[in-house]
Structure 1
Amino acid sequence: MDNDRILIIGAGQSGLAAAHAALEQGLQPVLLEASDRAAGSWPRYYDSLALFSPARYSSLPGMGFGGDPERYPCRDEVVAYLERYAAALIERGAELRTGTRVETVHAAGEPGKSAFLVRTSDGQELTAPAVIAASGSFDRPHRPPLPGLDTFAGPVLHVADYRSPASLPGEHVVVVGAGNSAVQVAYELAAERRVTLASRAPIRFVEQRPLGRDLHFWFQVTGFDRLPLARADNPPASPVLDDGRYRRALREGRYTRRAMFIRLDGDHAVWPDGRSERVDAVLLATGYRPNLPYLADLGAVNAGGHPRQRHGLSLSHPGLGYLGLEWQRTPSSNTLRGVGVDARRVVAALARHLRESRRPARA
């Protein structure tokens, strides 16, 4: 087993940031990516997606985004940026294995020393003294158990499967959620459909450019992005960043917001006031959960699939780290602008662990 190897599961923004940090620590990162490219879930997001942060605040360590720093890059720009970043890492010595889906991770160390055996779907077996789970959450969309959802007569789509308005049939679409994706998609659909935004709490809008500067500028100035969190088991809902168009459209009735329906009944939604109305399709913009099934046999996750970790370091297995969890350590932990800071911390801690594990035991 190579004592400097670190296996990184996932080659999206979190995995790439981890590989960069590993190279800085003198480690040998091996990125294991299930898809055919190093861009994470970005190629599968909906067509109209644009970043909520300007290009100047949307880069990984060591490579700026390029172009107008004040623009809000679109999905395909992010994909191209991540692929350039991966190519630069490979030139520096990182190894990237695409089409390599991790099936299981098992402990394989000698007594007193941590090591891991990683098995992939194509039959590979790799060992390393350290592993970072950076597989994100896109492949595990959260579908809440809403009454009548399973028997609803029309199509039910999670935003993970939404690409454009052509993805949904019919005249009346109910979008469930109150976050950025819910509002952005509802706004897009409202150009040609009747749209109702259903949520348990009202939408919280935040001005995207207060005093003429993007909100992320103020996050940096005030230190909000560096604010550590005591717990991240139940992260707070994120407000909707708005340049004015979403609130204006809501105010003008282009789409409406209602309290969550009581139930779905056939092809109708029953609202809290007792009214029932026809619904042609339901779109769930209800978030995601950590996608870590390969760690279940290891015992590193709880019954709900959430990792037993603190600030990205496993509480059950030394040598195991995490990146890209929502609110893992700070509000920006699972973003392009923030994951690099977490990656440096997690990889530095794992590097210390590896150095200490090599020291001969005292008599």
Structure 2
Amino acid sequence: MNTAVYDAIVIGGGQSGLAAAYYLQQEKLNFVILEKNPVNLGSWAHYYDSLTLFSPAEYSTLPGLDFPGGADRYPHRDEVVAYLKSYAAHFQFPINYEAEVLNVEKNDGIYSIQTAKNEVFRTRSIICSSGSFTNPNIPKITGMNDYTGLIMHSKDYKNDLAFRNKRVIVVGGGNSAVQIAVELANTADVTIATIRPLKFVPQLYLGKDLHYWLTRTGLDNNQSLEEKRLLMKSIDGVIDDGFYQNAIAQNKPNHKKMFKAFTQIGVIWDDNSHEEVDAVILATGYKPNFDYLNNLSVLDKSGNPLQENGINQSSENIYFIGLPWQTSFSSATIRGSGVDAEIVVQDLVKHL
């Protein structure tokens, strides 16, 4: 067993974990990052091939090191992967790879973290930035178990190769659902199915990206619960420069109300019509992924952290970074990770 007792351990080495590491290093604390992947940091390398950020490079940086290249361009997935690796190398953060955390216990004020390799790490505080990518939300749909076609979550989608000339339904109304459906519509017969009407949020206002206005107006700063609710309503939708909305207007893909049920070979639509379908891709988001904290009183019954601004609302020195709308719209994005990490580390230091 590792006998060292760290000031802090960061669980997850993606964008949020690295942002936390930056501020822990600035405070000269003794810490280590536990990253479950063998090489890559976080989940970016596992996303679909064509993914691009919906924020420009200028607004896609972690603290202390700018994203390389032109400020106004929208970086590709592989550029983000490379940036995270270079960021970790630049600051020489201590990272333990292939260290998947299974359980956390507390004894005499010290947390013991057990990994899948049966390693044990001890620490005075924990920052949880493990994300939710490995815990997809799979909705329960009538007839799902009887369907003989392909059902997959968007986390497992890479490209259109397996779907060419197939009949495909993409379920979901968010950015990933629309991007995947539009991509597939180039080579397949595709419908995007949603419970509510699709909503598009303009990516550009007066020639400037949405993220520019959020920072200039201060709406991107730490917000009250009511302010967050209001902003969530106003910009809840697919962030789009017009490309995706135009594609759907041209039925590439077409858009229909969510189907009622699966049949053995397809689906039953809202108008009771039956259709054969080759595959259904569920772009239905993710659920909390903090099961390793089940022995501590820091989660609600649904597994969501009991936190405010990433700070646990009990006596435990447990923190969270990377939660959607943790402090603002930019939370859970690369840029927002730095803002939230600073808030969390400032509080962590007070309680060591």
The TM-score normalised by the length of structure 1 is 0.91
- Count of residue pairs brought into register by the alignment: 346
Counterpart of 2:317 in structure 1 is 319
Amino acid at match of 1:23: Q
Distance 1:227 1:266 in 2: 49
Distance 2:274 2:347 in 1: 56
Q: Deviations over 1:160-215 (max 9, x none)?
A: 00000124466211100001000000000000111111111111111211211111
Confirm or deny: 8 A CA contact 1:169 1:280 kept in the other structure.
no
Distance 2:116 2:41 in 1: 20
- Which deviates more from structure 2 when the two are superposed, residues 115-124 or residues 137-146? 115-124
How far off is 1:227 after superposition?
5.0
How far off is 1:293 after superposition?
1.3
How far off is 1:303 after superposition?
2.7
Counterpart of 1:335 in structure 2 is 333
Counterpart of 2:83 in structure 1 is 81
How far off is 1:298 after superposition?
2.2
Confirm or deny: 8 A CA contact 1:300 1:317 kept in the other structure.
no
Counterpart of 1:99 in structure 2 is 98
Counterpart of 1:133 in structure 2 is 128
Q: Deviations over 1:294-335 (max 9, x none)?
A: 111223222322112221111234211011111112111100
Counterpart of 2:29 in structure 1 is 27
Question: Among residues 32, 42, 45, which one is paired with 1:43 in the alignment?
Answer: 45
Q: Deviations over 1:218-276 (max 9, x none)?
A: 1111222225242899x768311112111111111211111111111111211111211
Counterpart of 2:183 in structure 1 is 188
The TM-score normalised by the length of structure 2 is 0.94
Alpha carbons of structure 1 residues 170 and 298: separation in structure 2 relative to 1, 3 Å: farther
Distance 1:169 1:139 in 2: 27
How far off is 1:108 after superposition?
1.7
- Corresponding residue SS for 1:347: helix
Amino acid at match of 2:217: T
Counterpart of 1:256 in structure 2 is 254
Distance 2:76 2:180 in 1: 15
What are the residue-to-residue correspondences of 1:43-82 with 2, within 5 Å? 43-82=45-84
How far off is 1:98 after superposition?
0.4
Cα RMSD of the aligned pairs, angstroms, is 1.8
Amino acid at match of 1:304: S
What are the residue-to-residue correspondences of 1:175-324 with 2, within 5 Å? 175-230=170-225, 238-324=236-322
Counterpart of 1:119 in structure 2 is 114
What are the residue-to-residue correspondences of 1:155-166 with 2, within 5 Å? 155-166=150-161
- Corresponding residue SS for 1:226: coil
Distance 2:280 2:164 in 1: 10
Confirm or deny: 8 A CA contact 1:175 1:284 kept in the other structure.
yes
Confirm or deny: 8 A CA contact 1:19 1:89 kept in the other structure.
no
Q: Deviations over 1:318-355 (max 9, x none)?
A: 2110111111121111000111010000011011011x
Identical aligned pairs, as a percentage? 41
Amino acid at match of 1:98: Y
Distance 2:102 2:91 in 1: 25
Distance 2:220 2:255 in 1: 30
- Corresponding residue SS for 2:71: coil
Alpha carbons of structure 1 residues 264 and 169: separation in structure 2 relative to 1, 3 Å: farther
Distance 2:29 2:348 in 1: 10
Distance 2:214 2:11 in 1: 30
Unaligned runs of 5+ residues in structure 2 are none
Question: Among residues 129, 139, 147, which one is paired with 2:142 in the alignment?
Answer: 147
Distance 2:284 2:209 in 1: 26
Unaligned runs of 5+ residues in structure 1 are 355-363
Amino acid at match of 2:46: R
